[in-house]
Amino acid sequence: MKGIYNCEVIAHSEVSPGVIRSLLHCPEIVRQAQPGQFVNVRVAATTTDPLLRRPFSVHAVYPNEGLFSLLYVLVGRGTALMNKIAAGENVSVVGPLGRGFDLGDSTGAQHIIVAGGCGAAPLHFLSDRLCALWGCENVKVLTGARSKNALLCEAEFISHGVEVVVSTDDGSYGHHGLVTELLQRRLFNSQLETHNSQHIRVYSCGPNAMMREVARIAHEAGVPNCQVSLENNMACGLGVCMGCVQKIKGPVPGDTSGNNWHRERVCKDGPVFNAEDIIWD
């Protein structure tokens, strides 16, 4: 059950310029969190500006120590304030929230993770859990970024024991091009991939344009299960305000307006959705 927890901030570390990993102590969240879920942190406890909590995806859990980590890019006031909470201070955390990734229910599947930029944050937790469940030999990570400096979590993915293929937009490291080109290659080059597409599962997090392309490629390849983790602007994070909605195929029951779509809450019905259900704007 989700709750509100006072979590001790253990440490912040700068993993690359402008990218922070924060380590927090909270055995309750560590016990409950599933890959793809997020927590909502009150980064300004004593003022009303900023007023709202900030959502952060769970990057890793360390069950023996009761610790979990968040990985984020310093982009605005919320992330800057998060980074300034001193080690040893407590911070109010609501979570774990949202619907995480469906990890499958049988062995024999090939699990392909497609990460873009800071979208690698929740996929690191996913990779760890998939490895534990289905064996690292069945998990592949395709991860991309603008340039080598912006690439996240490569070493951590490798430390899990999974195969990792890298791309950069500027060609400074790995494949020169988009990470979606790696997916295209992987799914359509029969010399590289001997598995039947029916047994492939794709998981993705990154910029919307990238995930839209991941969804298209997976669909064309006949992959039956492609999941994407969205990041819409949230107010409550709890599912009560209806602010962070995404257009989803199909009408709601009883809708006589003729709409062949409806809106679902990214914070509660997601952030992970089946790619086939999404209407990409």
With CB under 8 A as the contact rule, the residue among 20, 94, 145, 275 that binds other proteins is 94
Told to check if 232 binds other proteins by CB under 8 A, we report yes
CA angle in degrees (0–180, nearest 5) for 240-267-7:
95
Whole-angstrom Cα distance, residue 229 to residue 15? 23
Told to check if 236 binds other proteins by CB under 8 A, we report yes
Site track for other proteins across 23-52, x = CB under 8 A = -------------------x-----xxxxx
- Would you say 1 or 192 has its CB closer to other proteins? 1
The window from 64-72, 179-187, 190-198, 249-257 that contacts other proteins (CB under 8 A) reads 249-257
What is the H or E stretch that residue 180 is in? helix 179-188
Q: What is the DSSP track for 96-128?
A: EESB-----SSTT-EEEEEEEGGGHHHHHHHHH
268 token code pair: 């509660």
- Would you say 44 or 162 has its CB closer to other proteins? 44
Strands 3-16 and 19-25: antiparallel
Told to check if 80 binds other proteins by CB under 8 A, we report no
With CB under 8 A as the contact rule, the residue among 209, 242, 250, 279 that binds other proteins is 242
Phi, psi of 16 (to 5 degrees): -160, 170
Kindly list the residues in this chain that would bind other proteins in the complex (CB under 8 A). 1-4, 42, 48-53, 92, 94, 232-246, 252-257, 259, 261-263, 268, 281
